[in-house]
Chain A
């Protein structure tokens, strides 16, 4: 399996703060790579640096063999990178349809793709012409993810999709992400919910203080409780 995304020695400064301190990571094509770590470890900064919302001050970022660290965010997005931010960032004043029309960019909305999305997000069909601001938190998250997959993307960057959602919605969201994964999507996902990470992840990267402190297979970390406690300060049982 070749690596779709590769970060080598990436540093990011935000103002006078040195957040990413030499990140090296790879995201294999067609797999889900989970990015775990405590609050403030640099997970969100890593995703924002990849999509270009924050500029890497040093290092190389390669997407499908092309250097992207100096590209602007729109150019990176047009290379096939979908981004689902932590805040969901749906456009509240726009309808569900208008949110997806913008996400489809120059192409018209593809009915087959929409039907596929409506298959696991039926709420979006029901609220098609409603303002996104009137949706519930779970529905906004569905719209945020739908926006990232309404057109085929090479890579999805998803930041804490289960954050703040009710358990039933989290389960449904995990099922949806599994379906996206089955379709062969390459995903780099930040997640605090270890259960969701275990369910979805093929590989795992653990961050602390702006560096990667562990990399390996998700199944191996899920099976190694002492390692979880050492890396993440948690036990899997406590999160089930």
Chain B
């Protein structure tokens, strides 16, 4: 019954390394084009930090796309809500934030980020139950409902906080740079990279080392079969949606600190980048999303430095190039 004899060597699982090597190749290719090593290093670190923040915001969306086949155009609302909620904690403790002590800064920043995640996650619960549950399987209605939800969320933020841009200064200990030779690496970018990498590792551990992760991976590939095996995938959907919303909230706080400001439509530009990341990464693929986010950030930073006029279209060109190479994204997980 086997296609191989018992003595044949076990086939080794094929590892698709090409997408992993892509950011590395791009970075190396840029060294001669940029010329200065310090500029290249600064741009590369900026790309990695920006990529990690985009990854955090996009990781939930790619699972929602892959697992639930839901086109959530309102994902940006969680980003903005997360950022605004953080201001509720950071504003009263402005003195602690501006104290020149890393621990005092983190003692305020940590709870602010956690509260943002909790509120965004809870908002995710409401959105899934109220807006998305009635339109599962109906893409056009999903687009209308979630876009409407985004508009309502933005207008609510305007109504509650006003139309003005709210400053969100970096904590004192995260300002400035590490100076290594003639290279300056911003402290906050290093923190963003560490947090992004931690989120990536945590998601990979859950997906690959737990039964819950097995179910999510199986559900991304074939929801019906997971149900036919006796699992209530709707509960899983809800859990993933809430987690994705919470991560978007965390990403919102990090992005707001990066830009040092918060406003209700802060997610508008980000949403385009996030969708590009999700599409080029492959719907439902966390690994693809991670690489896609780094690529998008690299193209934005290197492109902005080398050919500023191309900055507006550079990521669209990246998406076209990737999809011509791999029409279902870097790592095709679903059949969609």
Which of A's residues lie within 8 Å of B, judged by CB? 51, 53, 72-74, 77-78, 83, 85, 89, 91-94, 98, 101-103, 105, 120-123, 126-127, 129-131, 134, 136, 138-139, 142, 147, 169, 172, 176
> In the complex, what residue of chain B is closest to A84 when comparing beta carbons?
B228
Partner-contacting stretch, out of B19-27, B159-167, B215-223 = B215-223
By a CB distance below 8 angstroms, the chain A residues around B232 are 72, 74
Count of interface residues, chain B, beta-carbon cutoff 8 Å: 28
Tell me the smallest distance from the CB of B211 to a CB of chain A, in Å: 7
A142 CA / B226 CA spacing, docked (Å): 18
Quick one: given A123-B2, A126-B4, are A93 and B217 in contact (CB under 8 Å)? Answer: yes
Is B10 an interface residue, CB under 8 A from the partner? yes
Other than A123-B2, A136-B3, give 15 A-B pairs with Cβ distance below 8 A: A73-B224, A77-B228, A78-B230, A101-B211, A102-B211, A102-B215, A102-B226, A105-B231, A122-B2, A123-B4, A126-B2, A126-B4, A127-B11, A138-B1, A169-B1
Cβ–Cβ contact B221 & A73, under 8 A: no
Cβ–Cβ contact B1 & A77, under 8 A: no
Identify A91's interface contact among B13, B211, B222, B227, CB under 8 A: B222
Is B14 an interface residue, CB under 8 A from the partner? yes
Tell me the smallest distance from the CB of B152 to a CB of chain A, in Å: 31
Cβ–Cβ contact A120 & B229, under 8 A: no
Tell me the smallest distance from the CB of B21 to a CB of chain A, in Å: 21
A77 CA / B4 CA spacing, docked (Å): 33
Quick one: given A73-B227, A74-B232, A101-B211, are A122 and B1 in contact (CB under 8 Å)? Answer: yes
Is B272 an interface residue, CB under 8 A from the partner? no
User: Which B residues between 1 and 59 are near A, CB-CB below 8 angstroms?
Assistant: 1-4, 6, 10-11, 13-14
Is B214 an interface residue, CB under 8 A from the partner? yes
Cβ–Cβ contact A142 & B229, under 8 A: no
By a CB distance below 8 angstroms, the chain A residues around B6 are 122, 126
Tell me the smallest distance from the CB of A231 to a CB of chain B, in Å: 30
> In the complex, what residue of chain A is closest to B284 when comparing beta carbons?
A93
> In the complex, what residue of chain A is closest to B226 when comparing beta carbons?
A102
Is B225 an interface residue, CB under 8 A from the partner? yes
Is B81 an interface residue, CB under 8 A from the partner? no
Cβ–Cβ contact B229 & A77, under 8 A: yes
A91 CA / B228 CA spacing, docked (Å): 13
* A-B residue pairs in contact (CB < 8 Å), sample of 21: A53-B224, A72-B232, A73-B224, A74-B233, A77-B227, A77-B230, A85-B225, A89-B224, A91-B221, A92-B221, A93-B218, A102-B218, A105-B229, A105-B231, A122-B2, A126-B6, A130-B13, A134-B13, A134-B14, A138-B1, A139-B3
By a CB distance below 8 angstroms, the chain A residues around B225 are 85, 89, 91
A74 CA / B10 CA spacing, docked (Å): 35
| Most A Cβ at <10 Å: residue of B2, B14, B229 | B229
> In the complex, what residue of chain A is closest to B14 when comparing beta carbons?
A134
By a CB distance below 8 angstroms, the chain A residues around B10 are 126-127, 130
Is B264 an interface residue, CB under 8 A from the partner? no
Identify A142's interface contact among B1, B214, B217, B233, CB under 8 A: B1
By a CB distance below 8 angstroms, the chain B residues around A139 are 2-3
A143 CA / B69 CA spacing, docked (Å): 26
| Most B Cβ at <10 Å: residue of A72, A93, A123, A139 | A93
Is B333 an interface residue, CB under 8 A from the partner? yes
Cβ–Cβ contact A131 & B214, under 8 A: no
By a CB distance below 8 angstroms, the chain B residues around A83 are 228
A198 CA / B2 CA spacing, docked (Å): 25
By a CB distance below 8 angstroms, the chain A residues around B227 are 53, 72-74, 77
Quick one: given A89-B222, A91-B221, A130-B13, are A73 and B3 in contact (CB under 8 Å)? Answer: no
> In the complex, what residue of chain A is closest to B331 when comparing beta carbons?
A93
A136 CA / B13 CA spacing, docked (Å): 14
| Most A Cβ at <10 Å: residue of B2, B4, B11, B226 | B2
Tell me the smallest distance from the CB of A116 to a CB of chain B, in Å: 14
| Most B Cβ at <10 Å: residue of A74, A85, A92, A142 | A74
By a CB distance below 8 angstroms, the chain B residues around A136 are 3
By a CB distance below 8 angstroms, the chain B residues around A138 are 1, 3
Cβ–Cβ contact A130 & B229, under 8 A: no
Tell me the smallest distance from the CB of A155 to a CB of chain B, in Å: 13
A101 CA / B224 CA spacing, docked (Å): 17
By a CB distance below 8 angstroms, the chain B residues around A93 are 217-218, 220-221, 333
> In the complex, what residue of chain A is closest to B217 when comparing beta carbons?
A93
> In the complex, what residue of chain A is closest to B5 when comparing beta carbons?
A126
User: Which B residues between 232 and 255 are near A, CB-CB below 8 angstroms?
Assistant: 232-233
By a CB distance below 8 angstroms, the chain B residues around A176 are 1
> In the complex, what residue of chain B is closest to A176 when comparing beta carbons?
B1
Tell me the smallest distance from the CB of A9 to a CB of chain B, in Å: 24
Cβ–Cβ contact A102 & B229, under 8 A: yes
Tell me the smallest distance from the CB of B284 to a CB of chain A, in Å: 9
By a CB distance below 8 angstroms, the chain A residues around B224 are 53, 73, 85, 89
Cβ–Cβ contact A94 & B218, under 8 A: yes
